[in-house]
Amino acid sequence: MESPIMNDVELMVASDSQTSRIYDYTRDRTPHYVQLKDVHNLIARINDSGGRLSDPDIVAELLVSCELEMPGYVAAVDEAASVHTAVVTISLQHMRKLNKRFPEILLVDCTHKMNSSMSMRECLEATIRFQLCKEDEYSTRVIMPTTLRDITYDDEMNQILGMTSKWLAVVFEPEYKFAVDPTSAKSDSIEDEDLIFEHL
């Protein structure tokens, strides 16, 4: 049976607190009667079970949680022969599209503070925050009040509207709706003779 103060003790052990501090904390802040030997036993149980996650496990946990939260998120970890060195590559779907169009964009410079260092987790969090800010900035610029947009159009049609005139977008709209409608692809059949005629 798990002790009711196990979560508190795990947090204190994770923060490298001394046994006496953990004992004082649990006596002062919890309604449970605790003896010093109980705290020693709990700390021993936590240390036997591994206690806390290692740095690579923390990074893996962060990458997996981000991948679950954000669709289109891709992460890759390339480790060197020594486990101490790893390269983590992360990108959002929006940033991949942006980099494909503009490959000269530099996403993050983690070495601009030469007198300090970042943990892998801090670097990943900073990179993800940077990419999300860039995505929000892009969305804000696309939906600016001065740009020509139609609220009845989706994003692709509004991009067409931004590159052409209103008249041309109205002409193109039925063709676009036909192309993206999944039922139209099933009902539209092309004869083999039509294909041969087009190639001649």
Contacts of 10 (CB under 8 A, 6+ apart): 46
pLDDT for residue 150: 73
pLDDT for residue 112: 45
pLDDT for residue 58: 66
pTM attached to this predicted model: 0.27
Among 38-42, 106-110, 162-166, whose mean pLDDT is lowest?
106-110
pLDDT for residue 110: 42
pLDDT for residue 41: 79
pLDDT for residue 109: 43
pLDDT for residue 107: 43
DSSP secondary structure string for all residues of 4-69: TTHHHHHHHHHTT--HHHHHHHHHHH-SS---HHHHHHHHHHHHHTT-S--HHHHHHHHHHHHHHH
- Stretch 134-140: mean pLDDT: 68
Percentage, residues of the chain above pLDDT 70 = 48
Tens of pLDDT, residues 62-99: 776 766 677 676 666 666 666 555 666 666 676 667 66
Reply yes or no on whether the pLDDT at 195 is more than 60. no
